[in-house]
A and B are shown apart, each in its own frame.
Chain A
Amino acid sequence: MVMDIQLASLFASGALIVIGLFAAIFIDNIIKKVIGIAFIEEGVNLFLICLGYKAGGVVPIYLPGMTADWFAANSAYPLPQALVLTSIVIGASTLAVMLALAMVLYRKHGTLSTKEILGDEK
């Protein structure tokens, strides 16, 4: 094997961020823009989790029978995992607000196209 799982996941997170950015900027349909934003968030979360990974390590849960020194030397870094838990929830709530706004705007304009909805303001 050439790549280990950490490097491969970093590439995957980069790919998800780029795909999501492309969709959020260039695709016209609002729902697809929202899907793209969901991918950006997923990619960033994956990036953060990759930072804490330790090849050959253990899950950062302190079980009976482990000594503190062995645990500190072998567990994955738990701080990014704690951060990602919060960030997943924030991402989901932002997404829900965006979809709600998209639904309201659909009722008003009768279309999901960003150009037609946002074009005639100002």
Chain B
Amino acid sequence: MIEYIIIIVAVISAIIALLQEDLLKAAILVGISGFCVAVLFQLLLAPDVALTQAIVEGAIVPVFIALAVYKTNKGGA
């Protein structure tokens, strides 16, 4: 049962991330979606990929996006 919840959360948070006005919130939602996919990898019998995915898509990519958003907000205004 848990896998359906995770799949639904992953897809829904992806959609909300793209509808979001605030780009920082979008970055966090990308992290949530990435982390859900990481859990899904674990359930699909790929634990080492799940670890990499949790670190890269769950943490590093949102931080990159958030940094880019922060930099592009400050310089122009």
Complex A–B touching at CB under 8 A: yes
Which of A's residues lie within 8 Å of B, judged by CB? Answer: 5-6, 8-9, 11-12, 15-16, 19-20, 22-23, 27, 29, 31-32, 34-36, 38-39, 42, 45-46, 49-50, 52-54, 57-61, 75-76, 81, 84-85, 88-89, 92, 95-96, 99-100, 102-103, 106-107, 110-112
Q: Is the CB of B11 within 8 A of A102?
A: no
8 Å CB contact of B61 from A45, A54, A95? A95
Q: Is the CB of A88 within 8 A of B56?
A: yes
Q: What total count of A-B pairs have CB within 8 Å? A: 130
Secondary structure of the A contact surface, majority rule:
helix
Q: Is the CB of B18 within 8 A of A102?
A: no
Q: Provide the residues of chain B in CB contact with A75, threshold 8 Å.
A: 45
Q: Is the CB of B61 within 8 A of A92?
A: yes
8 Å CB contact of B46 from A81, A96, A99, A106? A81
Secondary structure of the B contact surface, majority rule:
helix
Known: A52-B46, A85-B48, A95-B64. A107 touches B34 (CB 8 A): no
Q: Provide the residues of chain A in CB contact with B27, threshold 8 Å.
A: 35
Q: A6-B44, A42-B57, A49-B46 are in contact. List 17 more A-B contacts (CB 8 A).
A: A15-B11, A22-B18, A32-B18, A34-B65, A35-B65, A38-B61, A39-B30, A45-B37, A59-B47, A60-B45, A75-B45, A76-B45, A85-B48, A85-B52, A99-B64, A102-B68, A103-B68
